[in-house]
Amino acid sequence: MSQDRRYSFEFFPTKTDAGHEKLLATARQLATYNPDFFSCTYGAGGSTRDRTLNTVLQLESEVKIPAAPHLSCVGDSKDDLRGLLNEYKAAGIKRIVALRGDLPSGMGMTSGELRHANELVEFIREETGNHFHIEVAAYPEMHPQARNYEDDLANFVRKARAGADSAITQYFFNADSYFYFVDRLQALGVDIPVVPGIMPITNYSKLARFSDACGAEIPRWIRKQLEAYGDDSQSIQRFGEQVVTDMCERLLQGGAPGLHFYSMNQAEPSLAIWNNLKLPR
């Protein structure tokens, strides 16, 4: 779609048939905006493996938008991963989001033959050459399990040098953290595109819990305004839409190579921002 920038949306596989039908309806609505691709998450330890596979294949074949499955290495053997890669390759999938992945409760760090995302990137390259465009994760505000910021930068550099083509960030609400991260990478000789991950604000309590868990900071002034709205969901959504739109404008003006919307399987919140930005269709 876009020559200079790329725009994409992320889904998570659902547990029910009704939820899956809603996901596909959302995807069809978003498809009318001609995004570059859809991505689909992969549960902790591969717990949604089959649902991720089925969702990705339907997005690719029925909705007709390129689909990018998440693939994580914890809890999976090389044979498991090889089988999935072969299925995706046979289905014409051309993009993979390669992650270490989250550990299910009770699973030790030794589970699986690959322990880090850079090892997964290397494995994908060894198995499939350049068939897949490989995305990796980036954390402008630092991965919550990293020892410090410098270690986290070094982890990202390893992923890039292992063969990653581009990256998608964890969501954030402070554009300065993104620009600082990219500047540091460039100083280290890493110049793969790093696309900001964008989380629409629709529900403050859910966002606060999720952000605390994944290490994404909600700036104090945003928190306090959202708290002040209480249960006024319309005001929360209006304020959130404006805050995120303003941040996206600054990111694009500052040279970000696109935007990746965490849709949460809903069309309207992401499309409101898309329309405010007057992005191409």
* pLDDT recorded at residue 255: 96
Phi, psi of 8 (to 5 degrees): -150, 165
pLDDT (0 to 100) of residue 2: 43
Average pLDDT of 98-124?
77
Judged by average pLDDT, the poorest of 111-115, 216-220, 246-250 is 111-115
- Both ends of the chain: CA-CA distance in Å? 8
Mean pLDDT is lowest, of 16-20, 72-76, 168-172, for: 72-76
**Percent with pLDDT over 70 in the chain:** 93
- Report the 3 state secondary structure along 202-271: CCHHHHHHHHHHHCCCCCHHHHHHHHHHCCCHHHHHHHHHHHHHHHHHHHHHCCCCEEEEECCCCCHHHH
Catalytic residue IDs: 10
Q: Which amino acid is at 204?
A: Y
